[in-house]
Amino acid sequence: MRDARFTYSANISIMFAEHPLLERPAAAAEAGFTEVELWWPFRQPVAEPSEVAALVSAIEQAGVVLTGLNFWAGDMIGGERGVASRPDRAAELRANAAQLVEIADATGCRLFNLLYGQRDARWSPATQDAAALDAIRSAAALVEPLGGTVLLEPLASGLNGDYPLVDPAQIRALLQSSLAEIPNVRLLFDVFHIGSNGIDIVSSAAEFAPWIGHVQIADSPGRGEPGSGSLPIEKALDTLVAVGYTGRVACEYQPSTPTTAASLGWIRRIG
């Protein structure tokens, strides 16, 4: 799926949800997408080999490319948003990372979102930040031989528990200080989360362009397709073009239409 400026990928964890997961790559291909991305798609940090094989096969048979994959983020349905900052979950995340690399080897995926994790009163913020930085460094070292990039994402306040990263400026600060020596860690610029926090997504697109490794879009309020809310997404995309962003743009929204395919008219409108 393209317009004159971008290749659009479909996040099939949230899009094409009218189909079972293993049917979503084919549904995305039928709608015109050549690339897809996923949150960690299994209920456990390490899935059964047969589950992984079935997913890889579904992607291959659909003729799409997996371009983005999240590390295990805990019980997302139950409200967790990452485990990187949890000192007691380090072994779990390492085991997940090993399987993530296996999937990357099989699919060619090279972008990997590592959610930071929510604050937990059992540890001090400093202890949790140290655990998160260790996890980020380990993840970056693991995917570096693949040419992979670890993405760090600010999330919307009020929707994701006590998640400490809510502004792209916080990610930039990490990339300029504690993570400055690691070139394959970048900002995930998600206009839904950033815009939901009252941050101007147009000026931010220019300000943070040097640190952006990936872009995701959904409108706010509602997290629907562009045009269903009030965010100036088209202007933000224009700004990204103007500052030289050449990466893909991932559609990560909940369609307001009965089917995902019916929600895609916005691409023709803004292209």
Q: What are the residue ranges spanned by the domains of the chain? A: 8-270
Question: Is residue 1 very low, low, confident or very high in pLDDT (cuts 50, 70, 90)?
Answer: low
> Tell me: the pLDDT tens digits for 118-134?
999 999 999 999 999 99
Residues in CB range of 208: below 8 A, 6 or more apart? 168, 169, 171, 172, 187, 189
* Residues belonging to the chain: 271
Whether pTM exceeds 0.85 = yes
Specify the pLDDT at position 222.
Answer: 96
Specify the pLDDT at position 268.
Answer: 82
Q: How far apart are CA 170 and CA 157, in angstroms?
A: 14
CA distances, 87 to each of 73, 219, 259 (Å)? 14, 34, 41
For residues 67-82, average pLDDT: 97
Domain 8-270: CATH class, spelled out: alpha beta
Question: Is residue 2 very low, low, confident or very high in pLDDT (cuts 50, 70, 90)?
Answer: low
Is-cis flag, bond preceding 221, omega within 30? yes
The catalytic site residues sit at 153, 252
Residue 203 contacts residue 167 (beta carbons within 8 Å): no
Question: Which comes out higher in pLDDT, residue 246 or 208?
Answer: 208
For residues 19-29, average pLDDT: 98
Instruction: Provide DSSP, 81-108.
Output: --STT-GGGHHHHHHHHHHHHHHHHHH-
Question: Is residue 4 very low, low, confident or very high in pLDDT (cuts 50, 70, 90)?
Answer: low
> Tell me: the pLDDT tens digits for 218-228?
999 999 999 99
